[in-house]
Structure 1
Amino acid sequence: MPAEENNISELALELGLAMGEMKNRLRQKIQAKINEYDPDLSFELIEIMGLLSRNEGINQQEIGNKVSKDKSSITYLINSLVKREFVQRIENKNDRRNKQIYLTDKGKQIVETVYPWALELYKKAAGDFNENEIKNALLLVKKMTTNLE
């Protein structure tokens, strides 16, 4: 492998590791804040509710794809959210086997409480980067993700 290709591979590896570390730190900080609010809420539950607030009515498979969790894990998490009355499953009119997931008013209230905390942490993580730097980083990560499909 030529030296330049090897260097690109090594840099891509470092970038991937750094993104993983950042996600873990953000997750820890968000979970700590959530625990102050409701110790029975997990980061995974909040992550799904946040996703639903931006994508009302998606199905469990779409949720699993977006949060990178398998079908059984998503079923367990959705069941937990339904039990706590944070979300509801509604049959798709065209395919009764396909259930769409919606936030309830109670779920929306949780998201409205937690979302500002998450935004504040992401703002802190962004530090003194300007908007273009963030957009370029986002574009880079999206391209790398597309390359893996």
Structure 2
Amino acid sequence: MAIAWAAPATGQPLPAFDGRVDRLLQGLAPGKAAKPEVDVTAWIDRAPGGPVLRVALEPVGDTRLVPEPGIAVTPRERPGIDWRVELPLVVTEPGRDYWPAGKTLALPFAAEDGRPITVDVTYAYCLIGAQCFYGDRSLDVPTRPPVAN
């Protein structure tokens, strides 16, 4: 039986066949596909003009945030918080394929009651040159700094 060898799509030279098919296939098949991922964090800044809820989205590896439909940040309604921005806070940039880096959004507020703020974050992201996804996270953000013992 004759075996026909073809060059792999990767442009790499064909692996030498040592009798082990798993090694041969490992040389021909591409590695594991990258997993698209976005780190989402939130915290309270104590700015001179009052407290600010900051929400940061940081793409990992070859993942990029998509400016259209963009990012939406929606704090859950509850008494005791007086927001200084229109809610939900939506950031878009039509006509652009990807944002080159992560994004941090600022939501200033005037009054607080010391309880954590729950915020819902919705965003679009893509693995460069591959499929795009929608992500959503809910975060509980403490409004009081930790107390040292």
Taking structure 2 as the reference length, the TM-score comes to 0.23
The structure with more helix, counted as a fraction of residues: 1
Choose between structure 1 and 2 for higher RCO, CA contacts under 8 A separated by at least 6 residues: 2
